[in-house]
Structure 1
Amino acid sequence: MKEFIESYWEVIIAVSALLVSVVSVYFNSKALKIQRIHNQKSVTPIPKILINDHSNYLCVFLKNVGVGPLIIEKMVVSNRVEGLSGNTLYEIMPKCPKNISWSRYLASYRPKRTTLSQNESMPLLEIFIDKQNQAEIDFQKEIREILKGTEIRLKYCDVYQYEEPSDYSTQLTYFSRDFSEVETSYKRFDLINENYY
């Protein structure tokens, strides 16, 4: 055995180096694959439809609660109960009565791609209601009636996922709750006078 090692020591070293190289390449490729998956996951967006519904304020907005940019490919809004559908919530809402107007809304969604960065939100529908005005209270009830059967569906992707968009959908069933026992008010804070109004 000693004679064999002395005769072929160069071959043994070369084969050992080759084996170490092959094992090293294998583990490096595995590490690169794990790093690539980590990089993709570290910029994953998470869309979330958030709702503020009070006796004097109603708002539905889309927020990116993930860590990467949310690239919206398509948005579809539908209410099967009422037989309504469109690209935005505004398109399926009833016409505002006289002297009532929306505070903010997304009027149409036509661009190929809209991007929301981390923690950025986009209002889909917002209105302030005067609790002393019966017409506004009735209009708020009409809005809630439509919203409670509404579904919002998004096709979105992240920066790595242009070819295979993901789907997100949510039902706005929150608006179907009973309001007879719940009375909440939304208060805005006036920074100049430092009080709520």
Structure 2
Amino acid sequence: MINFSSSTISKDTEIWGNFGDYVNGTFMPIIALLGVLVTYYLGIISEKRNEANIKIEQLKHRPILHIGYFDAEDFMEIFIENKGNGPLIIKKYTIINETNNTEMNRIYDCLPELINDDYDNYTGNIIGIVMKASEKFQLFLFKSEDDDEISKENRRLIRENISKYKVSIEYQDVYENIMPKSERSLIWFGRNA
């Protein structure tokens, strides 16, 4: 504009052709570079969106471990249940004495010897067990329908012993995402012991 503002607009097509070559040579590399930058930026946005979608899908199939128990007069149970939508893998299972913080790898180690009776079910170490969605796994079961003094004493001993412990389980989903540790104190069993 500074150099040619005093000139008139040319009617010569050759001059216009040279001007077109000048504009094309100047602006096309800039436009091409902008196109590359826009494409790169769209690729980054697409990659982030894909990662977010994968994370959302993983969350939809997330396991949620619940440690539960049931304590009735003649029936005691401790169990774990996968209340989530995806499978879980148990990575660490410990029974922790809440008074001295000692750890055990199976619930049997914290159970007392019974007088003339046996346990209905108890587990050993369950590391590596895979639980599908809505699956329930029994850690401990004791049923005693007898109402004699020996049965009452056995139930009292069990409640007194296991009320000192808590169950601690670390687990992951099938995508190897570490889930929050699940812990539950068994102090409830000691309320009547």
State TM-score, norm by structure 2.
Answer: 0.76
Determine which of 62, 66, 81 is the counterpart of 1:48.
Answer: 66
Q: Residues 1-197 of structure 1 correspond to what in structure 2 (within 5 A)?
A: 10-11=28-29, 13-81=31-99, 85-98=103-116, 100-106=117-123, 108-109=124-125, 113-161=128-176, 167-178=181-192
- Higher alpha-carbon deviation: 119-128 or 6-15: 6-15
Task: Report the residue type matching 2:189 in the other structure.
Answer: F
Work out whether residues 93 and 127 of structure 2, in 8 Å CA contact, stay in contact via their aligned partners in 1.
Answer: no
State TM-score, norm by structure 1.
Answer: 0.75
Structure 1 residue 85: deviation in Å?
4.5
SS at match of 1:146: helix
Structure 1 residue 112: deviation in Å?
5.1
Rate the CA distance shift 1:137–1:62 in 2: closer, same or farther, 3 A: same
Q: Using the alignment, how far apart are the partners of 1:139 and 1:62 within structure 2?
A: 24
Q: Using the alignment, how far apart are the partners of 1:97 and 1:54 within structure 2?
A: 20
Rate the CA distance shift 1:55–1:82 in 2: closer, same or farther, 3 A: farther
Structure 1 residue 7: deviation in Å?
6.1
Q: Structure 2: which 5+ runs fail to align?
A: 2-18
Q: Using the alignment, how far apart are the partners of 2:93 and 2:34 within structure 1?
A: 59
SS at match of 2:181: strand
SS at match of 1:94: coil
What is the Cα-based RMSD across aligned positions, in Å?
2.9
Q: Which has the higher helix share?
A: 2
SS at match of 1:95: coil
Work out whether residues 90 and 124 of structure 1, in 8 Å CA contact, stay in contact via their aligned partners in 2.
Answer: no
Work out the number of aligned pairs and report it. 175
Which deviations, in whole Å up to 9, do the C-alpha atoms of 1:168-197 show, x marking residues without a partner? Answer: 322112223358xxxxxxxxxxxxxxxxxx
Q: Using the alignment, how far apart are the partners of 1:16 and 1:80 within structure 2?
A: 65
Q: Using the alignment, how far apart are the partners of 2:32 and 2:49 within structure 1?
A: 25
Work out whether residues 64 and 83 of structure 2, in 8 Å CA contact, stay in contact via their aligned partners in 1.
Answer: yes
What residue number does 2:8 align with? none
Rate the CA distance shift 1:112–1:61 in 2: closer, same or farther, 3 A: closer
Q: Structure 1: which 5+ runs fail to align?
A: 180-197
Q: Using the alignment, how far apart are the partners of 1:156 and 1:83 within structure 2?
A: 21
Task: Report the residue type matching 1:18 in the other structure.
Answer: V
Q: Using the alignment, how far apart are the partners of 1:41 and 1:60 within structure 2?
A: 28
Identity %: 22
Work out whether residues 49 and 63 of structure 1, in 8 Å CA contact, stay in contact via their aligned partners in 2.
Answer: yes
